[in-house]
């Protein structure tokens, strides 16, 4: 380990279980010397094992609904108090689609479901950034990262309205990234990760087949949750101070590959 985050403080959203990218990130941040508060929605916390992660990393847990401004205000205020100063990093690893969960096709979207998923998956990132910004809660050269997926740029039919949510999320990172950079010297980026067998990811129809296809299409193979955690650590560190407002593909080369020999052979 390299002590890349020694002395740095932050918040990690979305750790559910050992399959979570947020979980792996928390472990890696801890190994690199960073301190953090863990947070998730109360209902998600009941489903997962976040208490085990807190014990392992010596972290405190503050439940928060990321769509609720009062919860976010409380989270940021208490985190600064617990950690003993302003924040250096924040990970937004949240996503949910009611339409996907209920197997409602994109062409038949229930719009109440759509709005709820949009609020959780995308608008929550704007709300989080706004609370951090208004409370001047980030140290200069701090780093805010959100996780996204390439369905924001390309069509994956069964990804449903989550594709729209991710496109909106990426736009927020660019727009808020401008103001955070100019006014606070804080970075805001998104990581476009390979399909990853997290609890949420496996809820997408046909996920098993798609993850195999993506692996066959990617020159380096799919990036794992641990790979993503390592990449996130690099973005939290001082080594990437001038990287901001970027959607960074972390997918083994999938996003730049038109077709692979493996796929050609499969259909020949």
Between CA 108 and CA 5 the distance in angstroms is 46
Give the DSSP H/E element, type plus range, for residue 77: helix 69-83
Q: Give catalytic status of residue 149 as yes or no.
A: yes
175: tokens are: 């727009």
Between CA 228 and CA 223 the distance in angstroms is 7
224: tokens are: 């794992």
Catalytically annotated residue among 2, 133, 159, 213: 159
Is 260 annotated as ligand-binding? no
Catalytically annotated residue among 149, 213, 231, 249: 149
Q: Give catalytic status of residue 106 as yes or no.
A: no
262: tokens are: 């493996």
Residues contacting residue 125 through CB under 8 Å, at least 6 positions apart: 92, 94, 146, 169, 172, 173
Is 62 annotated as ligand-binding? no
* C-alpha 13, offset from chain centre: 8
DSSP state of 7: T
Cross-strand bridge partners of residue 250: 193
Is 61 annotated as ligand-binding? no
Is 184 annotated as ligand-binding? no
Q: What's phi and psi for 67, nearest 5 deg?
A: -95, -5
Is 94 annotated as ligand-binding? yes
Between CA 9 and CA 22 the distance in angstroms is 15
Q: Tokens 């641990």 — which residue?
A: 226
Calculate the CA dihedral of residues 188, 21, 65, 108 and round it to 10 degrees: 90
Between CA 267 and CA 118 the distance in angstroms is 37
Between CA 241 and CA 29 the distance in angstroms is 17
- Catalytic center residues: 149, 159
Binding residues for NAD(+), by number, are 14, 20-21, 94, 166
């Amino acid at each position: 380990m390299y002590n890349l985050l020694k002395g740095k403080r932050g918040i990690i959203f979305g750790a559910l279980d050992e399959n979570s990218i947020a979980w792996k990130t928390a472990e890696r941040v801890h190994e690199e010397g960073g301190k953090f508060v863990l947070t998730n929605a109360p209902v998600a916390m009941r489903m997962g094992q976040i208490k085990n992660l807190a014990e392992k990393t010596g972290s405190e847990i503050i439940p928060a609904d990321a769509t609720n401004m009062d919860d976010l205000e409380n989270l940021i205020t208490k985190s600064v108090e617990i950690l003993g100063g302003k924040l250096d990093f924040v990970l937004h690893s949240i996503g949910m689609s009611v339409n996907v969960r209920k197997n409602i096709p994109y062409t038949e979207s229930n719009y109440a479901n759509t709005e709820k998923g949009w609020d959780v998956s995308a608008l929550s990132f704007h709300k989080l950034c706004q609370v951090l910004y208004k409370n001047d809660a980030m140290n200069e050269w701090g780093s805010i990262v959100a996780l996204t997926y390439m369905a924001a740029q390309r069509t994956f039919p069964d990804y449903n309205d989550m594709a729209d949510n991710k496109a909106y999320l990426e736009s927020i990172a660019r727009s808020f990234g401008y103001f955070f950079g100019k006014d606070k010297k804080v970075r805001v980026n998104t990581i476009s990760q390979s399909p990853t067998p997290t609890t949420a990811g496996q809820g997408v129809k046909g996920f098993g087949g798609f993850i195999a296809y993506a692996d066959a299409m990617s020159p380096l193979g799919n990036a794992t949750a641990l790979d993503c955690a390592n990449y996130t650590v690099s973005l939290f560190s001082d080594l990437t101070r001038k990287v901001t407002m970027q959607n960074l593909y972390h997918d083994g080369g999938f996003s730049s590959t038109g077709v692979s020999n493996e796929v050609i052979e499969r259909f020949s």
